[in-house]
């Protein structure tokens, strides 16, 4: 009997689900929208349905499988308590008891675990990816936010409250831009995909850069990929600009 695990990646817009074997091969996968309505109970029911359908689809392929557990990565996911806590990029407010709610749908599942999405990525890279063979490293995730997972002596560092390595919400520019968490000047407000877009717009305004190839893009249209493409050609290093702007 083949041992498999269910991997779930809860993102700001989409939730990716995969059935993965011991070698790290994704046997089947699916996506459901991460809702903007904030109704956690409906979302958990949809997620459970999608997981059960995927398990069923593997069994239809005549695969004899033993589902060892469900592992979930989510923004602000707490490994110790199984909760998602005050995630700025999700519509669910406050503390969400994700594992407890999912357990109602999978009472016999052997393992049901949640961790921060960057921590999950660090474990994945350590076992199957770019950090294979490494025992001490830091992984950064750059997307809607900035996340990080710290591995020391082959173990993920969780810290006393489960949120060690949440580098996105450390202060880069005191009194700087508003962050999604409502504090000011955090790394995420500058170095995430959306932060880079905000920097590009500031630079366009600052240098009155009407000759820039990015100048005719609306704020909605512009994305970090377009900026990367133009970076070498025309935009001066944002860091120099940010240092000049920082108070003190």
Chosen residue from 179, 196, 203, 235 binding Zn ion by CB under 5 A: 179
Give least dist CB 45 to Zn ion, A: 31
Query: How many CA atoms are closer than 13 Å to the CA of 212, on its beta-carbon side?
Result: 27
Q: Which residue is nearest to Zn ion (CB)?
A: 179
Query: Closest by alpha carbon to 99, among 85, 120, 118?
Result: 85
CB 29 within 8 A of CB 19: yes
Is residue 93 within 8 A of residue 83, CB to CB? The reply is: no
User: Can you say whether the dihedral through the CA atoms of 166, 167, 172, 177 is positive or negative?
Assistant: negative
Residue 146 binds Zn ion, judged by CB under 5 A: no
Q: Among 101, 109, 113, 181, indicate the residue that binds Zn ion (CB under 5 A).
A: 181
Which residue number, 12 or 69, has a Cβ lying nearer to Zn ion? 12
Q: Does residue number 242 form part of the binding site for Zn ion (CB under 5 A)?
A: no
Of the candidate spans 181-189, 194-202, 203-211, 224-232, the one that interacts with Zn ion by CB under 5 A turns out to be 181-189
Rounded to 5 degrees, φ, ψ at 13 are -110, -45
Question: At closest approach, how far in Å is the CB of 169 from Zn ion?
Answer: 4
How far, in Å, CA of 89 to CA of 199, rounded?
20
Judging by beta carbons within 10 Å of its beta carbon (0-12, 13-18, 19+), is residue 117 exposed, middle or buried?
buried
Q: How far is the CB of 107 from Zn ion (least distance, A)?
A: 37
Of 122 and 146, the one with the shorter C-beta distance to Zn ion is 146
Closest approach of Zn ion to the CB of residue 186, in Å:
4
Of 94, 40, 93, nearest in space to 15 by CA: 40
Among 9, 169, 176, 203, binds Zn ion (CB under 5 A): 169
**Residue 19 · residue 2 · CB < 8 Å:** no
| Span near Zn ion by CB under 5 A; candidates 5-13, 103-111, 174-182, 190-198 | 174-182
Number of residues that bind Zn ion (CB under 5 A): 5
Shortest CB 181 distance to Zn ion, Å: 3
Which among 161, 132, 167 is positioned nearest to 149, based on CA atoms? 167
Among 186, 190, 214, 235, binds Zn ion (CB under 5 A): 186
CB 216 within 8 A of CB 230: no
Span near Zn ion by CB under 5 A; candidates 42-50, 69-77, 99-107, 184-192? 184-192
Residues at the site binding Zn ion, with contacts judged by CB under 5 A: 169, 179, 181, 183, 186
């Amino acid at each position: 009997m083949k041992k498999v695990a269910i991997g779930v990646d809860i993102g700001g817009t989409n939730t990716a689900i995969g059935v993965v074997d011991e070698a790290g091969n994704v046997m089947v996968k699916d996506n459901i929208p991460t809702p903007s309505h904030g109704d956690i109970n409906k979302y958990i029911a949809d997620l459970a349905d999608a997981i059960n359908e995927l398990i069923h689809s593997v069994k239809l392929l005549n695969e004899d499988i033993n589902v060892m557990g469900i592992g979930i990565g989510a923004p602000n996911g707490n490994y110790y308590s199984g909760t998602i806590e005050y995630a700025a990029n999700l519509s669910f407010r406050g503390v969400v008891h994700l594992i407890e709610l999912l357990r109602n749908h999978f009472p016999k599942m052997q393992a049901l675990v949640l961790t921060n999405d960057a921590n999950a990525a660090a474990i994945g890279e350590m076992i199957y990816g770019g950090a294979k063979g490494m025992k001490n490293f830091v992984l950064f995730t750059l997307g809607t936010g900035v996340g990080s997972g710290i591995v020391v002596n082959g173990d993920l560092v969780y810290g006393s409250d489960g949120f060690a390595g949440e580098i996105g919400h450390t202060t880069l520019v005191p009194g700087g831009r508003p962050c999604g968490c409502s504090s000011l000047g955090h790394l995420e407000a500058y170095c995430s995909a959306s932060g880079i877009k905000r920097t590009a717009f500031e630079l366009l305004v600052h240098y009155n850069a009407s000759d820039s190839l990015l100048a005719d893009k609306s704020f909605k249209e512009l994305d970090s990929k377009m900026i990367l493409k133009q970076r070498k050609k025309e935009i001066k290093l944002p860091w120099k600009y940010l240092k000049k702007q920082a108070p003190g």
